């Protein structure tokens, strides 16, 4: 992780121009895992150039897949998959690495891996994943930090009801069930667009999945999946981050290659704050903010289609300079305010108690030296720094690179004074 690098931002510049939204990180990772199940080359277009995606490709290579990238297209040939163990150093790089468990079990009938790493957002237990796989016939033992997983009688269909609509657990079940014997039902399934994207890809490969995008998903297992070609959906979180950057600088921006239907959890909040937003042709979205915004009274993070937890941090930054007081209630992760002390360094007025953050908007922020401690919090620091008077230096850039393609180049293209050093 490139934590030796830093971003230097001279704030106070109004952003104006056009940004093309890259493919969704949270979709690309399970799609890459899904290629393991295929018997033939899979081609993924619009695959973002992110460090997390690079880590996923290294996992695939370690398992015996051939991976190559040309521009935004990644080709994976899993024909000669021979491995079933994922090294600890690769598991530690990202939390999403756990999604490889269901795919590897489905292909190899066994898997050995450690607990995943990634951003420290508090407890994100994988108990739901393991319990569901056990219902499908997996035998899972923990030994010295390693998970030893086998399926002595093969994976079979099951009726699984999740206690929480976990995205990762839903994905792992879908991957394990795609080639399992019989029918699997997932009740209280996650409804995120990334779930629908995964189902569409698997169906292109020959799977039989219905109901994705709703609370009940049905997977009728097939014997074998074949090659396929697919385009990753746009990144709704990156899109929302850039909208916040435009809003906080009272700018004007057009996003291209975005999907407005996936952004309904937060677009009404921006409009209520005073932003003008409307579709601008096919796959385009226009935003304009010419005055100080009004603070939304309450924002509660919720599973899709509610307000996304991944966009909470950039909105915290935006509300720090809005007129009035906002109350954030974080219902997904208990440790998602790690960016707040850094925003306070800029002059923000924020108080945190448990899962609640009270943000009192201030007229102006001032540049400071900051450190990103996780992905979305890092994006929030960049958002705030764009509006702050003077110069801000942000270290921990490696976290930001996990979810945003060359964020400094993207923002510089619309008028930001931002450089990367180190």
How far apart are the C-alpha atoms of 256 and 282, rounded to whole Å? Answer: 8
How far apart are the C-alpha atoms of 300 and 204, rounded to whole Å? Answer: 36
How far apart are the C-alpha atoms of 291 and 359, rounded to whole Å? Answer: 19
Catalytic site residue from 119, 149, 275, 319: 119
Report yes or no: 253 and 16 within 8 Å, Cβ to Cβ: yes
CB neighbours of 246 closer than 8 A, spacing ≥ 6? Answer: 15, 252, 253, 287, 289, 414
Q: Which two tokens stand for residue 122?
A: 């508090």
Beta bridge partners of 16: 252
Q: Which two tokens stand for residue 257?
A: 């290659």
Q: What is the largest CA-CA distance in the chain?
A: 64
Q: What is the DSSP letter of 279?
A: E
* HSE toward the beta carbon, residue 201, CA cutoff 13 A: 30
119 classed as catalytic = yes
Q: Which two tokens stand for residue 43?
A: 């081609």
Catalytic residues: 119
């Amino acid at each position: 992780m490139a934590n030796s690098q830093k971003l230097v931002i001279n704030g106070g510049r109004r952003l104006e121009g056009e940004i093309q939204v890259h493919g969704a990180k949270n979709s690309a990772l399970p799609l890459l895992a899904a290629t393991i199940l295929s018997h033939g080359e899979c081609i993924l277009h619009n695959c973002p150039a992110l460090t997390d995606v690079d880590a996923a490709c290294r996992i695939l290579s370690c398992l015996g897949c051939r991976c190559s990238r040309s521009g935004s297209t990644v080709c994976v040939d899993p024909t000669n998959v021979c491995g079933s163990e994922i090294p600890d150093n690769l598991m530690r790089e990202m939390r999403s690495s756990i999604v490889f468990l269901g795919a590897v079990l489905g292909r190899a009938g066994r898997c050995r891996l450690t607990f995943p790493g990634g951003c420290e957002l508090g407890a994100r237990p994988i108990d739901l994943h393991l319990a569901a796989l056990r219902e499908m016939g997996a035998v899972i033992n923990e030994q010295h930090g390693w998970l030893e997983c086998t399926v002595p009688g093969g994976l079979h269909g099951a009726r699984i009801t999740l206690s929480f609509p976990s995205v990762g657990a839903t994905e792992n079940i879908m991957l394990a069930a795609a080639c399992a014997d019989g029918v699997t039902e997932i009740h209280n399934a996650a409804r995120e667009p990334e779930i629908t994207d995964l189902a569409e890809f698997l169906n292109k490969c020959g799977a039989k999945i219905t109901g994705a995008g709703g609370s009940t998903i049905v997977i009728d297992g097939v014997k074998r999946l074949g090659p396929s070609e697919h385009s990753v959906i746009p990144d709704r979180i990156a899109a929302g981050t850039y909208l916040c950057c435009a809003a906080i600088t009272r700018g004007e921006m057009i996003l291209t290659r975005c999907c407005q239907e996936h952004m309904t959890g937060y677009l009404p909040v921006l409009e209520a704050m005073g932003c003008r937003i409307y579709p601008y042709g096919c796959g385009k979205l226009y935003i304009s903010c010419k005055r100080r915004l009004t603070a939304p009274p309450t924002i509660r993070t919720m599973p899709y289609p509610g307000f996304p937890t991944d966009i909470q941090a950039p909105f915290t930054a935006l509300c720090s300079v809005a007129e009035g007081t906002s109350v954030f209630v974080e219902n997904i992760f208990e440790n998602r305010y790690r960016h707040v002390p850094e925003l306070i360094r800029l002059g923000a007025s924020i108080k945190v108690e448990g899962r609640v953050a009270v943000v009192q908007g201030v007229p102006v922020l001032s540049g400071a030296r900051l450190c990103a401690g996780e992905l979305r919090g890092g994006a929030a620091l960049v958002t705030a720094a764009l509006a702050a008077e003077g110069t801000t230096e942000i270290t921990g850039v490696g976290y930001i690179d996990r979810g945003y393609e060359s964020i400094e180049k993207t923002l510089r293209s619309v008028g930001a004074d931002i450089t990367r050093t180190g």
